[in-house]
Amino acid sequence: MRCAFIFPAAARGRRDLSCALLPLGLPSLAAALDAAGHRTLLIHSGGLGVAGTLRALRRFHPDLVGLSCFTYQRHETAAWVRRIRAALGKPGPFVVLGGPHASALPRAILRRWPGVDAVAEGEAEATIIELARCLGAGMDPVLIPGLWVRRWGHIESPPPRQPLPDLDRLPATLQPKLDMRGVDHRLQERHRITGRGCHGGCRFCCAPALWRHAVRRHSVDRIMAEIRALRRRGHAWLSFRDDSFVSDPAWTAELCRRLIDESADLLWDCQADLRRLDSELVALMRRAGCVQIQLGVESADDRVLQALGKPHRRVHIRRAVEACRRAGMWMSFYLLAGCPREDEAARRDTLELVRSSRPASLSVSRLSLYPGTPLSRHIPPGRWFSERRVSFFFREDAAARRYHRALLALDRACRSREPYTLAELRAAAERLDGAPAARLMLAQAALRQGEYLQAEMSCRRLLREHPQSAWARFCLGETFFEQRRFVDAAAELERALRLRPGWREVLALLRRARHRAANV
């Protein structure tokens, strides 16, 4: 079987990193089908454009086309279903939808979008393999667990699909044979998932229904094998996109210790349940190379947090912030505007919390509604199709809009300043016994502030203690470049590449340094 997967996204959405990548589940589906002997193609329509995507599909001649459907691009998904049907003719491929929006509205989608043959609900690796097997054998897919299908004009409700008991049995997505188009391969590889699920019960989020309040993890051995493979490909920075990377603190601690023991020389960021963060765990994560944690703060008001179904309270926020600041860890806060029970006092408290916590950045959104979540139960299914607006906001009042603008302005202020002074970073590095990531962040902060001697001294100290640190070589090369010492910069960058061949950012700066050195 020839199976194509498409992420329907407008090109303008690629300015947002979350839209510039394929959903991380799509490469997993393709890897599972590849392992089962099928041919696959992955396409980001925003990267290839309409003409390029249709041209790639015609050349591939798919038997099965899967599309990821999220609420914000639901109309784009519907448009792509129509384009595929028109371009590939009749009978054409079997078209199946997946993703959170489709999983929440399978019956309604099959009623209203005649070009869709089926909806794969939730976790879909086993579902898609069974579907490909059935289609290849000319069998009826009606009894496949987790697959809603239209049959003889009726919509068949499937038996439930049980979650995969062992995620390590899934094929690795780091396979050179995965054919991905319209996306930056290295950027896609850099974003990783170590597990699935969330223990939280946020009333605005689809995760509780999708994952049934459970969390499953890959083994630490599996993740370490992926990290080694990524390092061999020249990666030096990873982003772990689990709903909560620290949902199992013991698992997180074991992974961190393994990274430290192997001197991975890797920087990374993650999302974390701030209830699980304490000084000991944050310090261990820092020693293992973590440089930033994204925290789902949402609000500093306990009444608002309770109304949102958030499991934490203000005291947990304060404790997590204190732990991060003690370790010199960059923080990014997720914040929501227009929440239930949000009043002027709640807004003032949240703004003050941000100012006193000094995060590196904010991720600001108006509270949006999504199908299948408790906050959206009052929305009739038909409105998700008739409403042309991208988002359904919980509140539309002027006060909520003003607060949203205030948070966006505060985000700009956070990004324009250093979250830590050099003295704070030096103190954090000493508390962490000179952890490489802590020393490196001190050097990088000094470099950004034009303190080149401090940056060079920090890099050289790090190299004395960790002579195989490609990151220290890179930072030292950047420091020399800013000082217009282009020959010295090129020499350090070449050393970094010998330690980490293929590192794209180093290669780019090395080309500039060599060019400048030749023209001085």
The CATH number that applies at residue 444 is: 1.25.40.10
CA atoms within 13 A on the CB side of 261: 7
Residue pair 254/220 in contact by the 8 Å Cβ criterion: yes
Position 307 in a domain: yes
Same domain, 356 and 223: yes
Say yes or no: 204 and 337 in one domain: yes
Among 363, 386, 416, give the residue marking a domain's end: 416
The verdict on 283 and 149 lying in the same domain is no
CA–CA separation, 98 and 18 (whole Å)? 17
**Tokens linked to 166:** 């062992």
Q: In this structure, are residues 374 and 309 in contact, taking their beta carbons and an 8 Å threshold?
A: yes
> What is the structure's pLDDT at 178?
86
Q: Are residues 78 and 146 in the same domain?
A: yes
Using the Cα atoms of residue 448, residue 450, residue 456 and residue 462 in order, give the sign of their dihedral: negative
Q: Which helix (H) or strand (E) holds 316?
A: helix 314-326
> What percent helix, strand, coil does the chain show, rounded to 5?
50, 15, 30
Output the pTM of the full model.
0.94
Whether 349 is in a domain gets the answer yes
Q: What percent of the chain has pLDDT over 90?
A: 88
N-terminal to C-terminal alpha carbon distance within the chain: 58
Parts of the chain with a pLDDT under 70: 10-18, 176
The answer to whether 463 and 496 have CB atoms below 8 angstroms apart is no
Structure tokens at 312: 């934490």
Q: Which of 175, 184, 181 is nearest to 230 (CA)?
A: 175
Please check whether residue 56 lies inside any domain of the structure.
Answer: yes
Cα separation, 229 vs 123, in Å, equals 25
Q: What is the pLDDT of residue 415?
A: 98
Whether residues 72 and 212 fall in one domain: no
Q: Which domain holds residue 255?
A: 184-416
Characterise 450 by phi-psi region: left (phi > 0), alpha (psi -120 to 50), beta (else): left
Backbone angles phi, psi at 2, to 5 degrees: -105, 115
- Contact between residue 350 and residue 335 where contact means Cβ atoms under 8 Å apart: yes
The conformation of residue 338, written as its DSSP 8-state character, comes to S
